[in-house]
Structure 1
Amino acid sequence: MKRHSPWFSFGRLSLTTRLSLIFALLTFAVITLAGFTLYRTLEKQISIRDDGALLTRVEQIRTLLSDEDVLNLIHNKPQLFANMLGNHEALLVLRFPGQAPLIEVNPGNSPVPVSTPVAADAQLTLAAVQHSMARDNTPFIAVSASAKTSDGPQPLEIISGRLMTERTHILAIYRQQIILLALTAAALTALLAFWIARRGLSPLRHLAGQTASIGIRNLSTRIDNRKSPRELTVLIDGFNQMLDRLEISFTQLSQVSADMAHDLRTPIGNLLGQTEVALSQQRSTDYYEKLLGSNFEELLRLSKMTDNMLFLARAEHADHAIERALLNIGDEFQRMGEYFEGPAEERGLSVILHGEGNIWADANLLRRALANLLANAIRYAEEGSEIVLESAAHPQGTKITVINQGQTINPQHLDRLFDRFYRADPSRNTHAHASGLGLSIVRSIMQLHQGQYSVVSENRQTRFSLIFPNK
């Protein structure tokens, strides 16, 4: 069953709004926690104060009753006790145990608590105060104590209490003020955080504007990080490096497309031109045979170029897997020497092999790389010279080198020899079998092996080196 996304999603909010909400919630939580901590402290202190005040009144009544004639005092001055309570919600009951109250002051009609009174000779402490809740959930405190009098042998029982309506009202106002203060502080924090976040994130908006202005036509543009915050420097450097790679790749792609069009145009033009000439009038059988032979060579060139491009496309795919195995170098060199013996003899060249030991590589890819290097060496070596194929141990694996004698390649071309369709001089375009992809295939093969490739050309000697890493 498909779920419907809620109308509100935190993930869809902007970073500025998220920061504002987070700071607002934190401010609300901190102020609320601090406020209610102070509230609990205040509540406790007020409770102790009220308990102490009630004990003081009871103690005052105790003292008064010990010095006066209780009955005459109650009869002549009943209002005195009401005035001593000082609150219309207070309770006072004076009675001898088991008898009716001598006086009862209870304007709030609070129920008289039943408890064991504190002895007349015992000191009153906060522990003597009883706490309960009235019917409307208002706190009620009460104290019961005995007092010695001159009216009889029995002590007089004093029951005093108070309904804490006023305290409840004050604490409720305090709670409301805490919530109001927390909400106000959260709102102000949100507004301030929003303003700070917008100013703080302005470099990101500037960066987004710069990146949005970069397209195919201005890939050479780079993002200026001189006025950017230190935290964005790494990101900007990463963007610039990505732009460097994109510019290089796009330039290479454009060059490859142009070179492909140029290289494909030559054989296709030859095919069209020769065929058009042949069809212009009746020709002899020998002419048609030569034409078909020439067209066959051009078609072979096109087929080889297509195969090479397909190989490069597959080799550069991230999921392309190779099957490495431990190969005998001597056997592989002997195979290459026998294969190129004929083409080398046609130009009076001799192939010298110096290889022993083993190499960890994909057999087919190794042979293709060596074949491309040897074909390249035979193509451009001086007639009558030697081509050397040798191997040697290397700290990072096994090094294979192909050496030929011939024209020295200009140093400015060496770094681009392995690019597609790149040729060091225009004269190489004239070779019938040169597609300009051989060395780029070698580069792809070495990248698949995670190896290294290089070329050095000096003193009329060119050395192509491949380093295959160990397993």
Structure 2
Amino acid sequence: MVIRMTAWYAATSFLLILIAASVLYGTVAGNLRAEDRRILTDTAANLRLLVADTPAFAASSSAAPTADAPRASSPGSGFIWFRLIAPDGRIERETAGMDREVPLAGFAALLALRPGAQDFATVQNEHGAPFELLSERFTAGGADTIVQVAIDRARDQRVLIKDRERLLFMLILSLGVCAAIGYAIARGGIRPVARIAAAAGSIRATTLHERLDTSDLPGELQSLAATFNDMLDRLEASFAQVSQFSADVAHELRTPVNNLRGELEVALGRVRSAPDYRDVLGSALEECGRINRVIDSLLFLARAEAAGAEPRREALDVAAELQAILEFYEPAALDSGIGLVLRADARLIAPCDRTLFQQAVGNLVANAIAHTGRGGTVTVALGPDAASAPAPMLRIDVADTGSGIAPAHLPHVFDRFYRADAARSSLGGNFGLGLAVVRSIATLHGGTVSIASTLGIGTVVSLRLPLRAV
């Protein structure tokens, strides 16, 4: 990445310098040519005036440079030649040696010139010497005359060659400087990223509490580091949850497994009668059932949280389903001296998975019965949820008259294996998974579940489910 950044920086900077150098060189060359043409134009104007004021000048046979012709102290360095031609093509006057340096064929065709028009050209003679040429037709004394003026550009060429050499040297030097600066900038820019990568690579399962220091990072990377720290927060929380989950699973399975092993060891300790073996096997079967319920609940939670999980919906008469569920739990409630009451004033149809709906409401009813003392009441109320606009939802409240739950425990009652009692006892088959299953079922259906409780009065768990498919 450093090499790529260096190459891009060097190439971009060098391209800008090359463009600037080309513009500068072109400007200098253009200014030199413009200056030469200005001199040619001024010389042609002077010749027009001279011919107009002195008609005999064009007819003279002598040839000499104009008074202001020389641009340097020696011929061939900015020297100016001129030639006057009659309309019939006869050369009336020219600078000595002009026919050798700049022959007539190098200028524009005589017949192509219009009166008053100027024609410029840049040529090289047979010796390779560069010249800037001007041809102009004008009228003086009632007769047309053609003037041809040439200026030696050898000095300009030498200046441009030196400029090219200097620019080439500067370009080569600037390429190296750009590469060095680009490398330094790339290394400096990539250093914080390398530090982040090194910090990320040093994080292990035992150091998930460590975070990246964002105080000295560039603004562009602070959001990246903050996002990475947020990811570490989630990973740490998830890892802690997995660790706690593993410990809870081991704890929950250890009790029934130990009970099962103890009973079998006692049974095998001596020869027993058939009724005794039957009792041991019955107790072992009960412990196996408890283990099976834990495993089934965990498998359900894992499947419910998997991506793409979707319940098999069907149109349920919710009131009829609630009545069937209460009838199922009625014998257990009567044995505990607890009354079951159903309040369903409206007939509501909801798209739900029948099995999951029965499991969720059944868990709530069983949990309410388990936490309600003799003589208490468990009430199941059904109705539309008034606070669910614009999406219509139904609300099922399962209320008991038990001892209630302390406010400190309420935020955690839907967590797996969480139980409000400090001992986390498994008596009565309470594994702390029932409310976690209810929440997963509600989420699968696009609904929610909430809880409210008052110590000494009771608890109300509210299950909200959509009245139409989501």
Shorter-chain TM-score tier: 0.7 to 0.9
> Alpha carbons of 1:240 and 1:452: their partners in 2 closer, same or farther (altered >3 Å)?
farther
Taking a change above 3 Å as real, the CA distance of residues 316 and 56 of structure 1, as seen in their structure-2 partners, is same
> How much does 1:367 deviate?
1.7
* Change in 2 beyond 3 A, CA 1:32/1:462: same
**Distance in 1 (alpha carbons) for counterparts of 2:416 and 2:152:** 97
Do the aligned residues in 2 keep the contact of 1:400 with 1:465 (CA within 8 Å)?
Answer: yes
List aligned pairs for 1:162-181, cutoff 5 A.
Answer: 162=151, 164-171=153-160, 173-175=162-164, 177-178=166-167, 180-181=169-170
Instruction: Give the Cα–Cα distance (whole angstroms) in 2 for the partners of residues 234 and 70 of structure 1.
Output: 85
2:60–2:93 Cα contact (<8 Å) kept: no
Out of 404, 415, 430, the residue aligned to residue 419 of structure 1 is 415
Equivalence map 1:122-133=2 (5 Å): 127-133=117-123
- 1-side partners of 2:108 and 2:407: how far apart? 111
Moved more, 312-321 or 260-269: 260-269
**Cα 1:182–1:391 shift into 2, 3 Å:** farther
Asked if 1:268 is matched to 2:257, the reply is yes
Provide closer, same or farther for how the CA distance between residues 294 and 148 of structure 1 changes in structure 2, counting only shifts above 3 A.
Answer: closer
Q: Is the 8 A contact 2:341 2:377 kept in 1?
A: yes
Amino acid at match of 1:128: Q
For residue 4 of structure 1, what is the aligned residue in structure 2? none
- Give structure 1 stretches of 5+ with no counterpart: 1-12
Compared CA separation, residues 63 and 117, structure 1 to 2 (3 A) = farther
Aligned residue for 1:315?
304
The one-letter code sitting in structure 2 at the alignment partner of 1:105 is M
Distance 1:399 1:175, change over 3 A: farther
User: TM-score under structure 1 normalisation?
Assistant: 0.80
Q: Does the CA-based 8 Å contact 1:349-1:384 persist in structure 2?
A: yes
Q: Which residue of 1 aligns with 2:373?
A: 382
Normalising by structure 2, we get a TM-score of 0.80
Partner AA of 2:465 in structure 1 = F
Cα distance in structure 2, aligned partners of 1:192 and 1:53: 46
Instruction: Pick from 340, 347, 363 the counterpart of residue 354 of structure 2.
Output: 363
Deviating more after overlay: 369-378 vs 28-37: 28-37
The structural deviation recorded for 1:387 is 0.7
Which of 412, 437, 442 is 1:441 aligned to? 437
Contact 2:85–2:93 (CA under 8 A) maintained in structure 1: yes
Residue deviations 1:254-273 (CA, integer Å, cap 9, x gap): 11111111221222222222
Specify the SS of the correspondent of 1:421: coil
Match of 1:464 among 436, 461, 466: 461
Once residues 125 and 288 of structure 2 are traced to their aligned partners in structure 1, the CA distance between those partners, rounded to angstroms, is 107
Aligned residue for 1:46? 32
Q: Which amino acid in 1 is paired with 2:298? A: M
Q: Which deviations, in whole Å up to 9, do the C-alpha atoms of 1:16-53 show, x marking residues without a partner?
A: x5544444333333333344334444433322221222
Matched with 1:280 is 269
The letter of the residue matching 2:308 is: D
1:45-87 alpha-carbon deviations (Å, 9 max, x no partner): 322221222233344555666366667652xxx5657994643
Q: Is the 8 A contact 1:129 1:141 kept in 2?
A: no
CA contact (8 A) 1:90 1:107 kept: no
Q: Is 1:56 paired with 2:42?
A: yes
Q: Closer, same or farther in 2 for the Cα pair 1:442/1:145, shift >3 Å? A: closer
Cα distance between partner residues in 1 of 2:216 and 2:139? 89
Q: Conserved in 2, the CA contact under 8 Å of 1:28 and 1:183?
A: no
Alignment counterpart, residue 255 of structure 1, candidates 244, 265, 276: 244
User: SS of the counterpart of 1:263?
Assistant: helix
- 1:146–1:229 CA distance, 2 compared to 1 (3 A): closer
C-alpha displacement of 1:90: 6.5
Aligned match of 2:387: 395
- Given that 2:60 and 2:92 are in contact with CA atoms closer than 8 Å, whether structure 1 keeps it comes out as no
Residue 107 of structure 2: aligned partner:
113
* CA-to-aligned-CA distance 1:174-224 (integer Å, 9 cap, x gap): 455555545544543453354345445544444444433432213233334
Deviations 1:90-110, CA, capped at 9 Å, x for gaps: 665555535578765244465
Report deviation, 1:334.
Answer: 1.0
Q: Tell me by how many angstroms 1:369 deviates.
A: 1.0
What is the aligned partner in structure 1 of residue 404 from structure 2?
408
Match of 2:235 among 236, 240, 246: 246
Task: Say yes or no: does 1:344 pair with 2:333.
Answer: yes
Structure-2 change in CA distance of 1:350 and 1:50 (3 Å)? same
Contact kept in structure 1, 2:380 and 2:398, CA below 8 Å? yes
After superposing the two structures, state which structure 1 stretch, 162-171 or 280-289, moved more.
162-171
CA distance in structure 2 between the aligned counterparts of 1:87 and 1:117, rounded to whole angstroms: 30
Shift of 1:352: 0.8
Q: 1:234 — aligned with what? A: 223
2: distance between equivalents of 1:271 and 1:146? 125
Letter in structure 2 aligned against 1:129: D
1:29 aligns with 2:19: no
1:330 CA drift (Å) = 0.8
Change (3 A) 1:268 1:341: same
Secondary structure of the residue aligned to 1:410 is coil
Q: Is the deviation greater in 366-375 or in 406-415?
A: 406-415
Q: Give the secondary structure class of the aligned counterpart of 1:423.
A: coil
- CA apart distance, 1:386: 0.8
Secondary structure of the 2:323 match is helix
**Which residue type is aligned with residue 413 of structure 2?**
L
In 1, are the aligned partners of 2:123 and 2:133 still within 8 Å (CA)? no
In the alignment, the residues of structure 1 paired with residue 81 and residue 341 of structure 2 have an alpha-carbon distance, to the nearest angstrom, of 123
8 Å Cα contact 2:333-2:369 kept in structure 1: yes
The answer to which of 387-396 and 21-30 deviates more is 21-30
Q: Mark the runs of 5 or more structure 2 residues left unpaired by the alignment.
A: none
Instruction: Report the alpha carbon displacement of residue 418 of structure 1 after superposing the two structures with TM.
Output: 1.7
8 A contact 1:328–1:359 mirrored in 2: yes
Quick check: 1:374–1:402 contact (8 Å CA) kept in 2?
yes
Offset of 1:280 from its aligned partner? Answer: 3.2
